[in-house]
Structure 1
């Protein structure tokens, strides 16, 4: 054996020994794998609250089959829940495979800092798991049966991941995203909001947080407007419609939004510029759009006006009803005029002048007119 082969063999053996030392190996039939984690609060009165933490588990049988089970433990705090749970489990559970961290609305409105601490401080957990808020108790969602999916957690993971395709939703719904947003100046946490409908689990909007507390639930239309104004490089669909027979659908992607911030006396002014480019996918409204550049330009201008109108409607609601900086303008102002000045950016943005400029560009018209 030459020196090179000997060195490779020695290196491989060393790596194997290093990895193997101190590891406790067990057959998979003796383990329970966590695929979803829930956090609920049960309040009997204003002073006392019981913590309820369901786990969605994958259990592997000796014959190679797999079943999904939900176990729930309760306690006066998260630490007590963990201790109580371990006393009843007859198998060791494996962390790091969980795909969803689901928070009951009551817990979310009380504050999720304890959840962030519980997940981030544990090196075995998956910090790339999706986070979401649910209407009611998370335990109810984990018990929903979804045909074709191994567990409700797998279905919810796919639901959140796919939601950004047509709704301008961000992909920043993971655990580590929450960790960096809840304490950052001028930034806010936004998470998917899930509900159980007749046909199963659905995403019905977004939950908006002030620091670590949920303060708003935004419906589907407001969620799209918020996402369009707040995020860079998101995809979605916009439509113009006069009647059930006259409409046009446009699917595209925004670029990096440009935000300019000015200070006029003691008041702030923001200008948001968004470019939205993509393809016409349905057209029952603009005849000859594929051949006539003037028709195409008219459609672009009409869609720009419609999108700007929707943006201003949301901004008006944001400033006068919610009185919150839902679209992250405080972050831009803090970057320009200085951080840590004890400025309430929610108040600043609620009283600021905000201008929106949308530029639509039609790249293609699909396969053209039929």
Structure 2
């Protein structure tokens, strides 16, 4: 018994165990900048902090600091604590001087980068976070329209904080829009340090009194260069990610269409002929017909026709996007440079954005139907 008490005491002191009421528990972190007239930049780092209130059986808050009884429950709310300074590190000490509680590290659900901060550059932000051993490197990162502070302050009905809502939104979006979930701190750090790769992050905005996932922020180096709308983001992710899941539609009129719920797998082959690169992207789709008003009945003949027509439509979508990528964005959105580096070696000194923008890129699409549903009527 003495040994147990001793061990518990040592570890309690080591890990500084405290009641949650005595801590500022972070739900989300924001990163903004304010540019001054003289050219200097002031960093603004808002924290979304959970608040906890004990409620009795009557639903009224309990103000005394006693342990919750079986008839009580905990209500979670959130508030914003923000500090500004000339460096991101300085905001930490300034923030603590104005707070009566210590801050937890590693509990945050989201990290939101304001649009102006993203365009200015995120390297210093990533470095200070990654050098902290207590940080949660699986945090989801996103860029927001306007200020991060504003979207963190936004109240979503039924959620203790907007960070909880945004985390669920980004995780759930992988089911239907060919979106990935590789938007965490570790992935950002690796991408920024890898030859032939460019970073993309979810782009969120507040409109119509709600938060929406409206596209993808495309980075060139550590600076955001463009915001892609969701229709382009969907195609980009088909061509960029190793696999994804989403819904595609073949439509001939308002009431004549087919919805195709499919999984896509991507493979890339790279060839170099003299100084010219050639990339072949194979996209293999397999999925189910979830709605059909185009064919009176789906048989083997109509299945083959649908697979052919859908394949041609996807190819056109891909080539339209590639044309815009090569001539407008002029950025390797698809990380094709990474495939070239893997095959022909790194540190060649070439600009992979320029190489890919001038490369011959071919897309080969194969569409297959697995199921057509339980029946037709």
Map 1:221-260 onto structure 2 (within 5 A): 221-255=231-265, 257-260=266-269
Rounded to whole Å, the distance in 1 between the matches of 2:175 and 2:334 is 20
Q: CA contact under 8 A between 1:35 and 1:57: conserved in structure 2?
A: yes
* 1:82 counterpart residue number: 92
**Deviation string, structure 1 residues 157-203 (Cα, Å, up to 9, x no partner):** 01111111111001101111111101200111110001111131101
Residue 91 in structure 1 maps to residue 83 in structure 2: no
Residue 282 in structure 1 maps to residue 252 in structure 2: no
Structure 2 residue aligned with 1:41, among 26, 33, 51? 33
* 1:5 counterpart residue number: none
Map 1:192-211 onto structure 2 (within 5 A): 192-211=202-221
Structure 2 residue aligned with 1:124, among 120, 126, 134? 134
Shift of 1:263: 1.5
Q: CA contact under 8 A between 2:52 and 2:75: conserved in structure 1?
A: yes
Rounded to whole Å, the distance in 2 between the matches of 1:213 and 1:109 is 5
TM-score when normalising by structure 1:
0.93
Rounded to whole Å, the distance in 2 between the matches of 1:46 and 1:369 is 69
Indicate the larger mover: 233-242 or 308-317.
233-242
Q: CA contact under 8 A between 2:289 and 2:373: conserved in structure 1?
A: yes
* 1:145 counterpart residue number: 155
TM-score when normalising by structure 2:
0.92
Rounded to whole Å, the distance in 2 between the matches of 1:270 and 1:334 is 13
Rounded to whole Å, the distance in 1 between the matches of 2:346 and 2:211 is 41
Shift of 1:243: 1.1
Rounded to whole Å, the distance in 2 between the matches of 1:330 and 1:115 is 26
Rounded to whole Å, the distance in 1 between the matches of 2:162 and 2:5 is 42
Indicate the larger mover: 356-365 or 44-53.
44-53
* 1:303 counterpart residue number: 310
* 1:4 counterpart residue number: none
* 1:320 counterpart residue number: 327
* 2:360 counterpart residue number: 353
* 1:6 counterpart residue number: none
**Deviation string, structure 1 residues 285-322 (Cα, Å, up to 9, x no partner):** 12211xx2111011001000000000000000000111
Could you say what secondary structure the match of 1:61 adopts?
strand
Which structure 2 segments of 5+ residues have no match? 55-61, 63-73
Which structure 1 segments of 5+ residues have no match? 1-8
* 1:273 counterpart residue number: 282
Q: CA contact under 8 A between 2:200 and 2:218: conserved in structure 1?
A: yes
Indicate the larger mover: 20-29 or 180-189.
20-29
**Deviation string, structure 1 residues 127-150 (Cα, Å, up to 9, x no partner):** 111000001000100111111111
Rounded to whole Å, the distance in 2 between the matches of 1:23 and 1:271 is 53
| Alignment coverage as a number of residue pairs | 359
Indicate the larger mover: 57-66 or 11-20.
11-20
Q: CA contact under 8 A between 1:39 and 1:138: conserved in structure 2?
A: yes
Q: CA contact under 8 A between 1:275 and 1:359: conserved in structure 2?
A: yes
Rounded to whole Å, the distance in 2 between the matches of 1:237 and 1:12 is 56
Structure 1 residue aligned with 2:11, among 1, 15, 19? 19
RMSD (Å), alpha carbons? 1.7
